[in-house]
């Protein structure tokens, strides 16, 4: 997904003169081909996130669309005021590409785990928050970003994640995608974002084998949130489960809960949020290990749903 994303920056830059790439201190040779072809639009600026965001803002004020890339924790936490004021207050079309969203950097410990990135980004007016499911969908997000006039935070996954998205379902920023619809009433709805969507789909398969009807809504855009799709699918569910690779504080679970609380359904489905508890990680291992510890793997999601239906 990351490779697809940065390669798309170059591909888009070839046909859109507004596109500029700004990295911090990334892998040697990253986008060297772009650097060779358009040296004045490829920047590798070093470990200075605050400055990089401000520079991107200055470029955007004069007509550019900078894609800024560094590790998700640093592009969100380290330069939060620059993101809030330079980008969001000015409402500029700068794209923040956050490597290693969620638990991807498990072996590196809590300094590198972006577990609250979506919460803090979505708290900012004018910010758009996205987490696509796979590399194919990343292509569609990158294409769509060209026509989006606001700042965007793009959470990237580990890479090599299973392809579950489908171009036939379309892609529009702010429009959630039903990935699995049974149409059954009184069933279960799983709302997921990012790579949790593939785990939600796997959990739904398991539940179906047990005779439990389960629909899956993929929310690649956490903000602006697709209220209509959430309310439409939740209206026929008796249980809505939000599954996210993110702290339960302020992420997709909170956002969906807000929508359901403010638009009460009759009957109101039960709501369960599956996410990362409100504490820093104490384990290492790999992403899948931490997802297992937090109960976010498919079988665990399915089991949690069965337990909640009792």
Contact between 15 and another protein per CB under 8 A: no
Contact between 51 and another protein per CB under 8 A: yes
Tokens, residue 110: 């809590």
Minimum distance, C-beta of residue 63 to another protein, in the bound complex (Å)? 7
Interacting residue with another protein among 81, 143, 166, 278 (CB under 8 A): 81
Contact between 45 and another protein per CB under 8 A: yes
Strands laid side by side in the 128-131 sheet: 42-44, 19-23, 65-71, 95-99, 152-155, 128-131, 221-223
Minimum distance, C-beta of residue 255 to another protein, in the bound complex (Å)? 27
Minimum distance, C-beta of residue 118 to another protein, in the bound complex (Å)? 23
DSSP state of 268: P
Tokens, residue 103: 């638990």
Contact between 46 and another protein per CB under 8 A: yes
Q: From the centroid of its chain, how far is CA 198?
A: 13
Helix ranges, 42-87 (H): 49-61, 72-73, 80-81
Interacting residue with another protein among 11, 26, 30, 48 (CB under 8 A): 48
* Closer by beta carbon to another protein, 89 or else 299: 89
Contact between 108 and another protein per CB under 8 A: no
How many residues form the binding site for another protein (CB under 8 A)? 28
Contact between 75 and another protein per CB under 8 A: no
For residues 258, 233, 275, 309, the Cα torsion angle rounded to the nearest 10 degrees is 110
Strands laid side by side in the 187-192 sheet: 177-180, 214-218, 187-192, 237-247, 270-276
Contact between 220 and another protein per CB under 8 A: no
Interacting residue with another protein among 70, 76, 82, 247 (CB under 8 A): 82
Minimum distance, C-beta of residue 58 to another protein, in the bound complex (Å)? 2
Minimum distance, C-beta of residue 301 to another protein, in the bound complex (Å)? 42
Interacting residue with another protein among 26, 30, 85, 173 (CB under 8 A): 85
Contact between 41 and another protein per CB under 8 A: yes
- What burial class does residue 301 get, using C-beta atoms within 10 Å of its C-beta: 0-12 exposed, 13-18 middle, 19+ buried? buried
For the chain, helix (H) and strand (E) counts, in that order, are: 12, 12
Is the separation of the CB atoms in 273 and 296 below 8 Å? no
Helix ranges, 189-297 (H): 196-209, 227-234, 252-262, 287-293
Minimum distance, C-beta of residue 13 to another protein, in the bound complex (Å)? 12
Contact between 61 and another protein per CB under 8 A: yes
Contact between 26 and another protein per CB under 8 A: no
Minimum distance, C-beta of residue 113 to another protein, in the bound complex (Å)? 24
What is the sign, positive or negative, of the torsion defined by CA atoms of 273, 274, 275, 276? positive
Binding residues for another protein, rule: CB under 8 A, are 20, 40-41, 43, 45-46, 48, 50-64, 81-82, 85-86, 89-90
């Amino acid at each position: 997904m990351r490779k697809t994303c940065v390669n798309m920056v170059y591909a888009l830059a070839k046909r859109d003169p507004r596109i500029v790439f700004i990295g911090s201190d990334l892998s040697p040779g990253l986008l060297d081909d772009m650097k060779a072809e358009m040296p004045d639009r490829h920047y590798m600026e070093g470990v200075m996130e605050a400055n990089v965001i401000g520079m991107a803002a200055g470029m955007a004020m004069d007509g550019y669309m900078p894609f800024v890339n560094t590790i998700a924790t640093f592009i969100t936490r380290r330069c939060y005021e620059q993101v809030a004021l330079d980008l969001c207050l000015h409402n500029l079309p700068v794209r923040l590409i956050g490597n290693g969203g969620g638990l991807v950097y498990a072996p590196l410990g809590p300094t590198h785990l972006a577990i609250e990135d979506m919460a803090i980004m979505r708290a900012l007016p004018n910010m758009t928050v996205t987490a696509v499911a796979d590399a194919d969908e990343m292509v569609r997000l990158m294409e769509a970003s060209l026509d989006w006039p606001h700042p965007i935070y793009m959470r990237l996954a580990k890479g090599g994640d299973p392809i579950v998205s489908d171009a036939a379902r379309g892609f529009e920023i702010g429009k959630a995608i039903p990935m699995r619809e049974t149409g059954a009433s009184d069933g279960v709805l799983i709302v997921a974002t990012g790579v949790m969507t593939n785990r939600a789909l796997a959990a739904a398969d398991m539940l179906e084998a047990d005779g439990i009807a389960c629909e899956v809504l993929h929310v690649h855009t956490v903000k602006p949130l697709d209220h209509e799709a959430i309310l439409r699918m939740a209206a026929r569910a008796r249980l809505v489960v939000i599954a996210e690779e993110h702290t339960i504080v302020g992420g997709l679970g909170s956002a969906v809960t807000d929508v359901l609380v403010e638009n009460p359904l009759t009957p109101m489905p039960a709501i369960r949020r599956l996410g990362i508890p409100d504490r820093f990680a104490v384990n290492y291992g790999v992403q899948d290990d931490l997802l297992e510890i937090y109960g976010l793997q498919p079988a665990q999601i399915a089991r949690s749903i069965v337990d909640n239906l009792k």
